[in-house]
Each structure stands twice: as structure tokens, then as C-alpha cells.
């Protein structure tokens, strides 16, 4: 008993000294005797968690402290830059591109003072290696237009019920370029042979090529993703993009600088269990040294990908709804992995390298490093012992002397990610095709519980899931919701 009193006295003393908003406030109402300090815990130090913390800090909530807990030994999560050769070269292990329409990300970078580099498809320096040959970008776009005409003529007489697209395909007089394009589009994501592609998929590829053929108007089109297998085309479609100068991790560093005076970021704390007792949350963490630590919180923001949250013991006392339980259990995650190949020559601009081994895409998205992006089983099984042939091909083409140093990142096997990113769409138009009718209330899985437990992360922002934009928006949104709930509660208590 005496110990408890002593602890409480120490707690009040430390709270009054701590660099938390509770003490930075010069508001008289912040008297711990009358207004006991409340704790907000953010779990996950990726973009969603950090941006939630930043937004909460901006709200300067009286008598509330904010603590963040992160399982890894660094912040950033799936935003992580790998630096080579004394930081002179780098590539993005995770997120790379900020699309034109990712307005929150672009504004956020500006707010943090982090410069972005723009990459336009029209740049004259852009070279594309397509199917083993090098093309200037405009020449390739012309070829896409020709392919569109060819494919349209090919598809016109086909009946959607035709099962024999293989026979039709092999007997057709399609040019090798068009065949290669179709093969990449279909095979890239499905991992299946184009020979068995249903006619509907071929027609869809033809349809997307039509958008291509008219690149100038593309920006205004909002074509639903009927199938993710068209990633290659889609990638071209939104080629006007930005990257973070110096690497995306510099954005995380800048964000951390903004919050660290008010938010204590505890690294090496893995969430293992969460329960609710007397309206407060008890969170169990495992530290790097396998020690157990229990943290009690009044409000919690969980930003873990559901792929890892499903391994956390969530007690019934939390009161998860059925749709939330199901989403945590089932939400699918991609298999994307990356290899970074440092080059010993400067790349002035974007280089794209498509159709490597029919499955991979590569680009120069960092600083003098080629990035190989792969998925499906190759992505899942990437390891130092299992480097794909494409790497050797790229080295032959782009590296004069083999420096031997490459980096690789398998997100599927990363215990704090267990997948690359969620590709959930509630309209049934994702690769996973979950029709919302089969999944009642699924799109509302991220709604808070009792305005006390919140979910954020890329997966919770349906419009921008799978992107930094989604992670950022979700973090900002839940922080604003939580701040409102806190203000309401404080008003009720007075």
C-alpha cells in the first residue's frame, strides 16, 4: 500500500517534469490533483502511428500524455530506405512513390520541409527496357498504341464464353511486342500462364490499352481496377510521380523530430496482448530482452497491419465486433519483395525495366540503385540463397563491374509486416475479390470501439489502402477523432 502511494507521488512528480504535453501546457486546469493525467498509447511507429502522434501533439490536449510503442528497433515500418556506400546511394525497401493525386502526402512533405523529386513520364531521359530491348519512352508509347489496335481487333470476334483463348492466341498474328505486353500484364500478378487466361482478361487488357492509347486524357479517367494483374499497365498509367529526396526515411526522421518533445517513442516493444479492465486498456509488451512490460492506457490507437495484429491476443473484454474480428483474421496482404542493385554509374533520370523473366519490374527510384520489384512465390521466397535471375540480367545490363553488393528485403517474412501491403477494396475490385455482400459491414472494420480504441494504418483507409497516403490520412483522422472524444469527455466531467 505504502509502495503504491509512493509510486503515485513519484508518478505525479515525473508527470510534472516529463516532456509531455501535460507539462508543456500553461493552462491552469492542468492540475493533476483535480484532473488526473490520462494516457494515450499509440502502437506502431510507422507512418500511421507517427502521423497520429504528430496530429495529437498539434491538438495539445490538456492533461494527456502520449506514448508510442514500436516493436522494431527503428521507426518507419514499411517506409525504410537502405543506404549503400556511406549513404551515397540508396534504394527504398518499402514505399517509394507518391502519386500525383496523393495530396496529403505531398502537403505533408512540404509541412515537414522534406523536398520531393518529381518524375514525369515525358522526360526525354527516360529509357525503358522492354522485353530485352531499349526504347525511348515516346517510342514505347507509340508501340503501346499499335498494340492496342492489334489487341482490339483480336478481341472483337472473341466470345466471353470462349474457353480456348490459348488456341486463338497462339494461332493469331499478334506481333511479338503485343504478345509480350499481354504476357506481362497477365502473368505479373497472377503468376499464371497467359495461355490459360480467360477471354474476359484479354478483353480487359485491351480495354486498358485503350486508356493508354489516349495518355493525354488519362488523368481524368477513374477506371476501376477489375483485376490487379494489370499492374504493369497501371504502373505506366500513373507514371507521373514523386519520390522523397534523400530517401523516404528522411521523412520519417523529420516527423520524429516534430513529435519527440511531446511523445516518448519506445522502441523494441512488441505488443502481445491487450485486455480491458475498468474502462482502461492493459497492453502487454515483450521487450528485446524478452522482458514483459504492462502499460495501462485510457485511449489506444493501434496501427499494426492486421497480418501482425492477428498474432496479438485480443481479449473478449475489448469488445471487438464480428466484422472487426473477421477483418483482422482475413485481410489479405501482398507478397511484394525487393532487391536493390547499386550501380557504378549515374542515372540521370528514371529507367524502367519491364518484363524481366516475364515477372519483374525494375526502376531507378532511389539514388543510383536499380530496384527490382517482385511478387508471388518469388517475392515470398526471396532470400540470400534465392536471388532471382533477373538480378544477374540487370547487373549485366547496367553494372559494368560487378561490385557484388546487393540488398534485399522480403516483407512477407518480416515478423513486423508479414506481407507487403493490404490491397483491400470494398467494391470487390481488388485482386482478392472480396465482394462486400459476402462480408457484411467489412468496410466499417476500422470504426473505433467506444471512442477509446482506434484503428489506423494503410489498410484502414479504403480509398488509399496500400499507400503511404492511406497510412497518413488514417493517422491524422483517428487523432482528430480521438481529440474530439477527449474534449467531449473533459467537457462532460466539468
Nearer to ligand FAD, 204 or 421 (CB): 421
Smallest gap from residue 284 Cβ to ligand FAD (A): 10
The answer to whether 295 contacts ligand FAD (rule: CB under 6 A) is no
The answer to whether 366 contacts ligand FAD (rule: CB under 6 A) is no
The answer to whether 420 contacts ligand FAD (rule: CB under 6 A) is yes
Which of residues 11, 212, 235, 416 is near ligand FAD by CB under 6 A?
Answer: 416
Smallest gap from residue 485 Cβ to ligand FAD (A): 21
The answer to whether 430 contacts ligand FAD (rule: CB under 6 A) is no
Nearer to ligand FAD, 53 or 271 (CB): 271
Smallest gap from residue 270 Cβ to ligand FAD (A): 4
Nearer to ligand FAD, 49 or 246 (CB): 49
Task: Mention every residue, 6+ apart, whose C-beta is less than 8 A from residue 343.
Answer: 89, 364, 368, 369, 370, 398, 399
Nearer to ligand FAD, 154 or 412 (CB): 412
Instruction: Give the position of cell 502537403.
Output: 107
Nearer to ligand FAD, 180 or 244 (CB): 244
Cell numbers for 49: 502511428
The answer to whether 417 contacts ligand FAD (rule: CB under 6 A) is yes
The answer to whether 96 contacts ligand FAD (rule: CB under 6 A) is yes
Helix (H, G, I), strand (E, B) or coil at 99: strand
Task: Mention every residue, 6+ apart, whose C-beta is less than 8 A from residue 296.
Answer: 39, 280, 281, 282, 283
The answer to whether 97 contacts ligand FAD (rule: CB under 6 A) is yes
Smallest gap from residue 9 Cβ to ligand FAD (A): 31
Which of residues 457, 477, 479, 486 is near ligand FAD by CB under 6 A?
Answer: 457
The answer to whether 202 contacts ligand FAD (rule: CB under 6 A) is no
How does DSSP assign 352-381, residue by residue?
EEEEETTTEEEE--SBSEEEEEE-HHHHHT
Nearer to ligand FAD, 128 or 361 (CB): 361
Helix (H, G, I), strand (E, B) or coil at 118: strand
Long-range contacts from 477-482, C-beta under 8 angstroms, 24+ separation: 478/52, 478/301, 478/448, 478/454, 479/51, 479/52, 479/53, 479/54, 479/55, 479/56, 479/59, 479/301, 480/55, 480/59, 481/448, 481/451, 481/454, 482/40, 482/56, 482/299, 482/301, 482/448, 482/451, 482/454
Task: Mention every residue, 6+ apart, whose C-beta is less than 8 A from residue 457.
Answer: 44, 46, 48, 302, 303, 304, 305, 470, 471, 474
Q: Taking Cα atoms as reference points, which of 53, 102, 68 lies closest to residue 285?
A: 68
Which of residues 112, 262, 467, 482 is near ligand FAD by CB under 6 A?
Answer: 467
Instruction: Give the position of cell 504502373.
Output: 235
Question: How many other CB atoms are there within 10 angstroms of residue 243's CB atom?
Answer: 20
Which of residues 270, 360, 395, 473 is near ligand FAD by CB under 6 A?
Answer: 270
User: Which DSSP helix (H) or strand (E) runs through 201?
Assistant: helix 199-213
Question: How many other CB atoms are there within 10 angstroms of residue 273's CB atom?
Answer: 15
Smallest gap from residue 95 Cβ to ligand FAD (A): 3
Smallest gap from residue 70 Cβ to ligand FAD (A): 5
Alpha carbon distance 468, 97 (integer Å): 9
**Which range touches ligand FAD (CB under 6 A), out of 54-62, 144-152, 352-360, 462-470?**
462-470
Nearer to ligand FAD, 209 or 388 (CB): 388
Which of residues 30, 37, 38, 46 is near ligand FAD by CB under 6 A?
Answer: 46
The answer to whether 94 contacts ligand FAD (rule: CB under 6 A) is yes
Nearer to ligand FAD, 79 or 406 (CB): 79
Question: Whats the size of the chain, residue-wise?
Answer: 494
DSSP state of 298: S
**Which range touches ligand FAD (CB under 6 A), out of 6-14, 93-101, 171-179, 276-284?**
93-101
Nearer to ligand FAD, 52 or 206 (CB): 52
**Which range touches ligand FAD (CB under 6 A), out of 28-36, 37-45, 187-195, 443-451?**
37-45
The answer to whether 72 contacts ligand FAD (rule: CB under 6 A) is yes
Smallest gap from residue 45 Cβ to ligand FAD (A): 5
| Residue 194: burial class (beta carbons within 10 Å; 0-12, 13-18, 19+) | buried
Nearer to ligand FAD, 43 or 343 (CB): 43
End-to-end CA distance of the chain: 30
Residues engaged in binding ligand FAD (CB under 6 A)? 43-49, 69-72, 77-79, 94-97, 270-271, 303-305, 308, 312, 336, 338, 411, 416-417, 420-421, 457-458, 466-471
Amino acid at each position: 500500500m505504502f509502495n503504491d502511494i509512493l509510486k503515485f507521488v513519484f508518478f505525479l512528480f515525473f508527470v510534472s517534469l516529463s516532456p509531455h504535453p501535460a507539462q508543456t501546457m500553461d493552462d491552469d486546469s492542468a492540475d493533476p490533483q483535480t484532473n488526473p493525467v490520462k494516457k494515450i498509447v499509440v502502437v506502431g511507429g510507422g507512418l500511421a502511428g507517427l502521423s497520429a502522434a504528430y496530429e495529437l501533439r498539434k491538438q495539445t490536449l490538456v492533461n494527456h500524455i502520449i506514448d508510442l510503442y514500436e516493436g522494431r528497433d527503428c521507426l518507419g515500418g514499411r517506409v525504410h530506405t537502405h543506404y549503400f556506400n556511406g549513404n551515397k546511394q540508396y534504394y527504398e525497401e518499402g514505399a517509394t512513390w507518391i502519386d500525383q493525386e496523393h495530396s496529403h502526402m505531398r502537403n505533408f512533405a512540404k509541412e515537414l520541409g522534406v523536398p520531393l523529386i518529381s518524375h514525369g513520364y515525358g522526360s526525354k531521359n527516360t529509357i525503358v527496357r522492354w522485353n530485352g530491348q531499349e526504347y525511348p519512352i515516346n517510342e514505347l508509347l507509340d508501340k503501346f498504341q499499335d498494340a492496342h489496335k492489334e489487341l482490339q481487333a483480336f478481341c472483337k470476334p472473341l466470345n466471353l464464353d470462349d474457353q480456348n483463348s490459348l488456341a486463338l492466341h497462339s494461332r493469331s498474328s499478334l506481333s511479338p511486342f503485343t504478345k509480350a505486353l499481354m504476357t506481362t500484364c497477365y502473368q505479373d500478378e497472377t503468376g499464371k500462364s497467359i495461355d490459360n487466361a480467360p477471354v474476359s482478361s484479354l478483353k480487359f487488357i485491351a480495354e486498358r490499352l485503350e486508356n493508354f492509347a489516349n495518355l493525354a486524357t488519362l488523368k481524368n479517367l477513374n477506371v476501376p481496377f477489375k483485376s490487379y494483374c494489370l499492374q504493369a499497365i497501371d504502373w505506366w498509367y500513373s507514371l507521373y510521380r514523386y519520390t522523397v529526396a534523400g530517401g523516404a526515411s528522411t521523412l520519417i526522421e523529420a516527423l520524429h523530430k516534430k513529435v519527440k518533445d511531446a511523445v516518448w517513442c519506445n522502441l523494441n516493444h512488441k505488443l502481445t496482448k491487450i485486455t480491458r479492465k475498468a474502462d482502461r486498456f492493459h497492453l502487454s509488451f515483450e521487450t528485446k530482452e524478452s522482458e514483459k512490460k504492462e502499460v495501462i492506457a485510457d485511449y489506444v490507437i493501434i496501427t499494426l497491419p492486421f497480418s501482425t495484429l492477428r498474432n496479438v491476443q485480443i481479449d473478449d473484454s475489448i469488445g471487438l465486433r464480428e466484422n472487426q474480428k473477421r477483418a483482422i483474421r482475413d485481410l489479405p496482404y501482398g507478397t511484394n519483395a525487393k532487391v536493390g542493385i547499386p550501380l557504378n554509374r549515374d542515372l540521370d533520370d528514371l529507367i524502367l525495366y519491364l518484363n524481366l523473366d516475364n515477372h519483374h519490374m525494375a526502376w531507378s527510384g532511389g539514388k543510383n540503385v536499380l530496384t527490382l520489384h517482385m511478387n508471388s512465390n518469388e517475392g515470398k521466397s526471396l532470400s540470400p540463397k534465392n536471388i532471382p535471375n533477373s538480378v544477374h540480367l540487370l547487373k549485366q545490363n547496367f553494372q559494368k563491374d560487378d561490385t557484388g553488393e546487393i540488398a534485399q528485403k522480403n516483407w512477407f517474412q518480416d515478423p513486423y509486416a508479414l506481407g507487403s501491403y493490404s490491397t483491400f477494396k470494398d467494391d470487390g475490385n481488388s485482386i482478392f475479390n472480396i465482394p462486400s455482400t459476402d462480408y457484411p459491414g467489412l468496410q466499417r472494420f476500422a470504426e473505433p470501439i467506444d471512442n477509446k480504441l482506434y484503428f489506423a494504418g494503410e489498410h484502414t483507409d479504403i480509398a488509399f489502402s496500400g499507400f503511404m497516403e492511406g497510412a497518413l490520412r488514417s493517422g491524422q483522422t483517428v487523432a482528430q477523432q480521438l481529440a474530439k472524444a477527449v474534449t467531449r469527455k473533459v467537457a462532460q466531467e466539468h
